[in-house]
Every structure is written in C-alpha cells, then in structure tokens.
Chains A and B, each alone.
Chain A
Amino acid sequence: MAKAKAKSAAPKKETPTTDETITREEVKETKTEPEKAPPTPKASNVEKTESFTAAFKNDAHSAVDHFLKHNTDNPEEISREESNAGDDGVRVTLTYK
C-alpha cells in the first residue's frame, strides 16, 4: 500500500535565472528495449578478474594463491596474466569464476 504522497510536486531544480546559477544538462534515456536484452546469467557463471600487484613477481603470484585459497566461495581459476606495473613492480591479473 503506497503511503500518501507528501509532496505535491517533485522538487526538481528550478531553471537557472541568474548568472551565478548552474546550467543543467538534460539526460536522454537510452530507451533500450528491456526484453531484447539477453537473459541474466548466474553470477557464479560470470568470469571475474582481480589484480594483485607486488614488487616481485613471486609475491604477486603468492597474493593470487592466497586469494584463491582463502576465498570461502571456492573460486575456480581460469587464467593468470602478468603485466608491468611500473614502479609498483608486477601486476598479476587473475580471471576466475
């Protein structure tokens, strides 16, 4: 049961009338047709990524191992990718489900 509407009109921002007020841009809705979107998968079936950065490559991989071992959701490792993290060292990006 809906509560009675307390406000008679939505308190939208009033149209600016002085030089000091802010001009507001109207947002266009995307008008996607919802039913045409693909069905929502289970979150557990969606691949996710997590990045771990450390000064040394082995430490970054150890962080990945720790994440996998101690995550109570028992993630399944799909892949790992190493990349250069500049001054921070090495970044290992884990893809998992």
Chain B
Amino acid sequence: MSKVSAIIPTLWKAKDFTDHLVDVLIQDKSVGEIIIIDNAPTDFLYNHDKVSMFCLEENIYVNPSWNLGLDESSYDKFIIFNDDIIIPYNFVSQLESLLTSDKGIIGIDAPSVIKVPSFDGENITFLDRKIELKPITNRDWGFGIAMAGHRNSYYKIPENIRIWYGDDYLTQMNNEEGKVNYVIDDIPIFTKMSATSDLEEFSEIKNIDTLMYDRFVKRKE
C-alpha cells in the first residue's frame, strides 16, 4: 500500500492543536510517517514509531522547513500541515488516492477554513465520505494551511523566501509545468489562524520575502 509522508513545522505556539493533529495522523493508516520540523529551542517529544522529530538549533522558518521535510521524507506522496489546525480523522486516507503526479498542489479552499479562538473538542470529527477537488487558477487565502501532492509536484522553495509565498511558489511552478492545482472542497479545517506567522518578530522577514518573491515573479515574466 502506498503511503503518505506528513510534515509539520512547528514553534509550539498552539500545542494543543499540534498534539491533536499528531494523534489524528498516528491513527490514520495512510500516513506512513510524521516528520516534525521542530524550530523551537524548548519543546516536546512525541514518542511513537511513526514520528521523526528534527530538532533544530535555531528557527529555519517555515518554507525551509517544508524543503527539509520533503528532503527527509520516505514516501512519494506528501502532505504539509500548519501546526495550529484541526483536521478530521481519516483525512489523509480519503485524500491519498488523489495525490497523483499529474496534478499540481492540492490545498484548502478559503471558505472551508474556519477560524477558532482556541482548541475545542467539539470540532473533532471523522471523515466518512470521499474528498472532492476543485481546480483553481490562483491561490486564495488559507490555501497553504494544509498542502498535499506527489513528490514530483514539489519544487524546492528558494532559501531567501522563508515564511511567506511558499505556497505561491509551489502553485506557480506547477502551473508552469502545465499542471492544475486544486483545493479540497467543503471539508472544514479549523485553525487558530496565524498563531505563529502574525508574530511581530517576523514582520521584517515578511518584507524580505515579498521583495524576493517579487523578483522571482519578475524574472519569470
């Protein structure tokens, strides 16, 4: 059976969400491994055979974390998660067969992203229906909180784009390869939105990311 590598960069800013996310993935039979890119100097340990924790001495930020997770992953299919979301149980099992090399990146549809102030067990559900995809031409808000695909649809994000625009880069590169990107239709994903990326300390990096991504886009034009 084909399996999926799940990758979660974290700074442990929403640990109750992350704990539950890891539990959901451990119990999902389609998840072959869970790779946690641990960017915090003090943090926690998941002691389970499926879980690999890459404990970094300093924060390498989210896009390089995605690159590292893909580099270290063992399966041909991947899914990258924000650490502050609630997905249904069985989510990856329902998604796995859709992660084919002829597709681009599959993300989350903006209306399906539900912002919540804190972790709430009422939002824990079991996905017992098939996932349907909608093709997209442009990435919308919320797309990158969970992104999946085949390894052949992942393009290493340039090192100077560290926090923002990683999902833009991936969707654009797939478009250029003639692949269609998709969103998952009508499956609720609960999130403590931007628990990490809204931190004041990252505003300067956002400016640099914007500059670097603009340069990348202009080079392509």
The A interface, classified by DSSP as helix, strand, loop or mixed, is: loop
| B-contacting residues, A38-97, CB 8 Å | 38-44, 46, 48-50, 73
| A-contacting residues, B29-75, CB 8 Å | 32, 38, 41-48, 51-55, 72-75
A48 to B42: give the CA distance in the assembly, Å.
Answer: 34
Given contacts A24-B43, A29-B23, A29-B48, contact A73 B126 (CB under 8 A): no
**Cβ–Cβ contact A13 & B55, under 8 A:** yes
For the complex, count residues of A whose C-beta is within 8 A of B.
36
Instruction: Considering the complex, give the chain A residue whose CB is closest to the CB of B110.
Output: A73
**Cβ–Cβ contact B128 & A43, under 8 A:** no
**Cβ–Cβ contact B22 & A48, under 8 A:** no
For the complex, count residues of B whose C-beta is within 8 A of A.
49
Q: Nearest Cβ in chain A — how far from B180, in angstroms?
A: 20
Please give, as numbers and ranges, the residues of chain A lying within 8 Å of B137 by CB-CB distance: none
**Cβ–Cβ contact B89 & A34, under 8 A:** yes
**Cβ–Cβ contact B88 & A40, under 8 A:** yes
Q: Is A30 an interface residue (CB 8 A)?
A: yes
**Cβ–Cβ contact A2 & B2, under 8 A:** yes
Please give, as numbers and ranges, the residues of chain B lying within 8 Å of A34 by CB-CB distance: 24, 27, 89-90, 126
**Cβ–Cβ contact A43 & B111, under 8 A:** yes
**Cβ–Cβ contact A27 & B46, under 8 A:** yes
A71 to B139: give the CA distance in the assembly, Å.
Answer: 16
Other than the given A27-B46, A29-B48, A73-B110, 18 more pairs (CB < 8 A) read: A2-B2, A2-B74, A2-B75, A3-B151, A12-B52, A12-B53, A12-B55, A25-B44, A27-B19, A27-B22, A29-B23, A30-B19, A34-B89, A40-B88, A40-B128, A42-B187, A44-B111, A46-B188
Binding site for B on A (CB under 8 A): 1-7, 10-13, 22, 24-27, 29-32, 34-44, 46, 48-50, 73
Give the 5 A-B CB pairs with smallest separation, nearest first: A34-B89, A10-B52, A43-B112, A43-B188, A40-B125
Binding site for A on B (CB under 8 A): 2-3, 19-20, 22-24, 26-27, 32, 38, 41-48, 51-55, 72-76, 88-90, 109-112, 114-115, 124-129, 151, 186-189
5 pairs of residues in contact across A and B, judged by CB atoms under 8 Å: A13-B53, A26-B45, A30-B23, A35-B89, A35-B126
